[in-house]
Structures are given as C-alpha cells and as structure tokens.
Amino acid sequence: MRALHLACLLCLALSSAAQQIHDVWQTTWDRSKLFTNVSPTKPINFTTSVDSPSVKVHVDDTREVQEIVGFGATLTDISALTLTNMKVTDSVKYWELLKRAFDVTYGSDSAGLNYLRVPLGATDFSSTVYSLDDTENDTNFRYFDVNRAPSYVFSTLKDIRSVNEHLKVGASTLFIIKMPLI
C-alpha cells in the first residue's frame, strides 16, 4: 500500500513539474481576430526551472533604484457594484472578502493589498457611461464633479479603507478608444 501511495505522489509531482499547453486562443486589440484558435503545431511544454547561461538576473540589494508604492488592485464601477450587491446579499462574506484582500493583520491568510487604483470617470467596466468633466474648454476643471460617479464606488472604497486604514488610493483616467462594433 505504501508503494502505491509513493507511486501516486511521484505521478502527481511529475505532472505538475512538466505540463503542456495544447490550446491557445487569441483576441486582438483591433478585433482582426476574435477568440481565434492559434494553437501551436506542437504543445508548449512547461518544465521546472533550470540554470540558463543566457539568462542571468543579478539583484543588488545595496542599491535602491525605484520604490515600490504597493501591491493592489483597481476598483472599477462594476467591481464596486458587485461588491455592493454582495454586501446586501451576504454581508458576512463581503467583509470576509475585504479582510482577506486588504487586512494585513490576517497574515498569510490575506493578500495584503495596500494600493487601490480608482478610475476617474467611466471605463469599459462601468455599468453606465459618464464623465466627471466633459465640458469643452474647461481647462481649469471648474465643472469637474466627482459626484457624477456612482455612489457605491465611494461606499465600497470607504469599507475597504475601514479594513486597511493605511491603504493608498491612486486615481487615474482611462481613455477608451471608440471603435465600431462588429
């Protein structure tokens, strides 16, 4: 029986060390390929890492080149809406999810995310189309109004901040290129 367990473990180890990809599907930005099968003639093999004379990475930890601000995610309108709906339907799971994502005191049971990007204005992941200031020639942002964003974005952000008060929030604009639908 012990030999059978050992054989099973060996098979599992070998299968995880060398895996193959047979199917590759592609969608291009210009929509010239929409979920098109571009599978290779031979499978792509993944194996355990080996030393390679052509690839050398040297880390000099005595020299600081760039500071890492944090590790995080993006809170889009639709993710905030999904989380808001989750809070309504199952508040316990909602708070557990936020804690497992953002609460660093959970230790290894938490992703420990400490940075959140919030888009300024609608994105391709928004339930509605809106702009915080779409007034022509308003270079001083006189008509900029953050209240045009759905309120659930801010309530979700507030909940996340309550889980991690040291959370860094970055706002960004995302420009959507208008393309004709096929």
Residue 45 pLDDT > 90 = no
Residues with Cβ within 8 Å of 163's Cβ and at least 6 positions away in sequence, in order, are: 95, 98, 99, 102, 103
Give the Cα separation of 74 and 169 in Å (integer).
Answer: 10
Structural domain for 118, as ranges: 74-172
Please indicate, yes or no, if residue 26 is contained in any of the structural domains: no
Pick the most confident of 2-6, 94-98, 127-131, 169-173.
Answer: 94-98
| Total domains, the chain | 1
Residue 153's pLDDT is 92
Please indicate, yes or no, if residue 24 is contained in any of the structural domains: no
Residue 3 pLDDT > 70 = no
Please indicate, yes or no, if residue 29 is contained in any of the structural domains: no
Please indicate, yes or no, if residue 9 is contained in any of the structural domains: no
Please indicate, yes or no, if residue 144 is contained in any of the structural domains: yes
20 vs 110, more confident: 110
pLDDT one-digit tens code per residue, 136-181: 888 888 998 888 889 999 999 999 999 999 999 988 775 444 444 4
Please indicate, yes or no, if residue 153 is contained in any of the structural domains: yes
Please indicate, yes or no, if residue 65 is contained in any of the structural domains: no
Chain mean pLDDT for the chain: 80
Which of the four pLDDT bands, split at 50, 70 and 90, describes residue 89?
A: very high
What average pLDDT does range 29-58 have in this prediction? 75
Share of the chain above pLDDT 70, in %: 80
Please indicate, yes or no, if residue 112 is contained in any of the structural domains: yes
Residue 1 pLDDT > 60 = no
